[in-house]
Amino acid sequence: MPSLRHTIADDLRTQITTGHLKAGARLPSEPSLAAQYKVSTPTLRNALALLQAEGLIEKIHGTGNFVRHPLRRLTYAGGRLTPDTDLHVTICTTNVRARGDLIPLLGVPSRTPLTEFLYLTHQGESPHSLARIYVPRDLASAGPPWPRSGVEESRDKIRARHPTPEEATTLRISSTLAVLSITRVSTDTTGRVVEAALLVLPSDRAEALFVTHHTAKVKGQEE
C-alpha cells in the first residue's frame, strides 16, 4: 500500500500534469494542504519534497511552493554550456583571497588575490544553474573570463553529488536532487592556472556530452 506521502504526491502530480495546477501557480499553504489531506505538516512536507526532487515544484522560502515551468536543458560539451533555449545570466564580481581548496586548485600561495565571478543562470524568475569562476587578480582586468583567451589546456572533473545547503537554497532545489559538479581548470602555455571554474548543474536539467575522435588505422600498420 502506498504511503501517505506518496498518495499525496501522486494526487498533486496528477493535478500538475493535467494542467489543473498550472506552471507558475502557487500551491495552497502547507498547513492548508495538510488539513485538506488530513495529515500532519511533516508528512505533507515529505510529499512536497518528492515533487521538488522531481523538478515539478520549487519552494521559495518565505513565499511558498510554486509549480515549476517546464525545465530547459543545458548540455555541457567541450567546456561550454549550451542551453536548448535562451536563458539569462547575472554575474556578480567579488575580490577574494585564495583559501581552502582554492589554494591547490589554482596552485597559488594562501591569500593570493583572486577575483570570483559568480554566474547565476535563470529561466524566467527561477534560478537554473550556477558557476563560481576564480581568476588570479592580475588577469581579471580582461573582464568576464569564460572562455578566456590564451588557454593552452583545460581539464574537467565531473562527479554527481548532493547539493550543499547553500546550493539547494540558491537553486531552489531539493537537497536530495543530485547535481553535476564540474571542476574545470585551465592553464596557459607556461602551465600557470589562469582560471578555475566550479559549476553546479541540477541533474533534472543538465547533461554532459563527450565526443571521442578515433584515428583510422593505416592498412599494414604494425599492431
pLDDT (tens digit per residue) in 22-75: 988 999 999 999 999 999 999 999 999 889 888 889 888 888 999 988 778 888
Mean pLDDT confidence for 154-180:
91
* Beta strands at 64-67 and 57-60: parallel, antiparallel or unpaired: antiparallel
- Pick from 187, 93, 87: which is nearest to 128 by CA? 87
Tell me how far apart the alpha carbons of residues 70 and 138 are, in angstroms, rounded to a whole number. 41
Please count the other Cβ atoms lying within 10 Å of the Cβ belonging to residue 178. 16
pLDDT at 221 over 60: no
Q: What is the per-residue pLDDT across 151-161, written as a single tens digit (0 to 9) for each?
A: 889 999 999 99
Which pLDDT score is estimated for 71? Answer: 76
pLDDT for 218: 58
For residue 163, count CB atoms less than 10 angstroms from its CB and return exposed for 0-12, middle for 13-18, buried for 19 or more: buried
pLDDT at 197: 94
Tell whether 14 and 58 lie within a shared domain: yes
Whether 26 and 89 map to the same domain: the answer is no
What pLDDT shows up at residue 42?
A: 93
74-77 vs 206-209, strand pairing mode = parallel
More confident residue, 64 or 223: 64
Residue 177 lies in a domain: yes
**Of 67, 86, 120, which residue sits at a domain end?**
67
| Residue 97 and residue 37 share a domain | no
E strand segments, the chain: 57-60, 64-67, 74-77, 80-83, 88-97, 113-123, 126-136, 153-161, 179-187, 193-202, 206-209
93 and 198 fall within a common domain: yes
Whether 118 and 22 map to the same domain: the answer is no
Do 91 and 47 fall within a single domain?
A: no
90-102 average pLDDT score: 95
- Domain end: 67, 101, 117, which one? 67
pLDDT band, very low/low/confident/very high, at 163 (cuts 50, 70, 90) = very high
pLDDT of residue 216: 65
Does one domain contain both 196 and 115?
A: yes
Question: Given pLDDT bands bounded at 50, 70 and 90, which one contains residue 2?
Answer: confident
Q: In CATH, what number is assigned to the domain containing residue 19?
A: 1.10.10.10
- Given a cut of 60, whether residue 146 has pLDDT beyond it is no
* One-letter identity of residue 72: R
- Report the number of distinct structural domains present in the chain: 2
Best CA proximity match to 199, nearest among 165, 163, 173: 163
**At 140, is the pLDDT very low, low, confident or very high (cuts 50, 70, 90)?**
confident
* Same domain flag for 98 and 190: yes
Looking at the structure, tell me whether residues 151 and 133 fall in a common domain: yes
- The confidence score (pLDDT) of residue 139 equals 86
pLDDT of residue 142: 62
Same domain, 153 and 186: yes
Which residues span the domain enclosing 147? 74-209
Beta carbons within 8 Å of 220's beta carbon, 6+ residues apart = none
Q: What is the CATH number of the domain that holds 98?
A: 3.40.1410.10
* Mean pLDDT, rounded, for 103-128: 93
Confidence (pLDDT) at 14 = 94
> So what's the pLDDT on residue 123?
85
Count of CB atoms situated within 10 Å of the CB of 61: 7
In this prediction the pTM is: 0.74
Burial of 120 (0-12, 13-18, 19+ CB in 10 A): middle
Q: Looking at 67, 86, 101, which one is the last position of a domain?
A: 67
pLDDT at 85: 67
